[in-house]
Amino acid sequence: MTYRPFDLSGKVALITGGNSGIGLGMARALAEAGADIAIWGSNAAKNAAALESLKPFGVRLHALACDISDEAAVERAFAETVAQLGRVDACFANAGTYGHAARFTALETAEWQRVMRINLDGAFFTLRAAARHMAERGGGGSLVATASLAAIEGAARNAHYGATKGALVAMIRALAVEMARHGIRANAILPGWIETAMTAGNVADERFSGAVLPRIPARRWGQPADFGGIAVYLASEASAYHSGDCLVIDGGYSLF
């Protein structure tokens, strides 16, 4: 008999940045576990392709083009998501961008603000909309933010990126305490080196790969599918008493 708490039938999961990479890896597992899926992504063509890949799971699907750095756009997208799917039980604030590498003393204000708008403001707008909905609806829910090892390790020449991810972790901890009275739990996922479109340049760089891969005890790059299990767990009743945590998914990299 299947362990029933992992059955997500009747639940709705929203994944920002769910049209590729880690987000799509989570969306596929969530759909396979029975959840209806809402994907927000800035690229309409990628959104459509992601929905097509999820159709075999037989769940309700909805995708929206949304710039998460735009507060009004997030509010509109969330309202439309609820109108289409009825509710949101699990919200994965996964969308983000990388920082253009620069020495801290040369980091331009515009670049700092660009990364902040997407990685931090965008997650704030998304999680706030979800928390309001869950608290007003009742019945609890799950808030999840995709942070990074940069939140807990020094990210040389990427202070702006690391700052956003560290702030995400702090925000999630605050939400875990504040929203618990509504039955809402909040957790952060900290990926290590994952092979996605965002990291393609690093993975293809022989010098970089030669320095990083030997430090990963699992001896491979992480894959988007490696985030399916944790997504299902955090969306399910199996994690009903698990809140305020930072879940590191890195093949052991941060330990070695």
Question: Which residues does the annotation mark as catalytic?
Answer: 161
H or E stretch at 190? strand 184-191
Burial 219-248 (b: 16+ CB within 10 A, else e): eebbebebbbebbbbbbbeebeeebbbbbb
Cα torsion through 89, 150, 170, 109, rounded to 10? -110
Neighbours of 198 (CB within 10 A): 15
What span, in angstroms and rounded, lies between the C-alpha atoms of 65 and 18? 11
The answer to whether the beta carbons of residues 239 and 180 sit under 8 Å apart is no
Asked if 107 and 114 touch (Cβ cutoff 8 Å), the reply is: no
Q: Measuring CA to CA, how many Å separate 133 from each of 98, 184, 225, 244? A: 29, 11, 29, 20
Q: Please give the structure tokens belonging to residue 147.
A: 């942070």
Helix (H) or strand (E) holding 76: helix 71-85
Cα dihedral 31→35→36→39 (10° resolution) = -60
Alpha carbons 239 and 231: distance in angstroms, whole number: 10
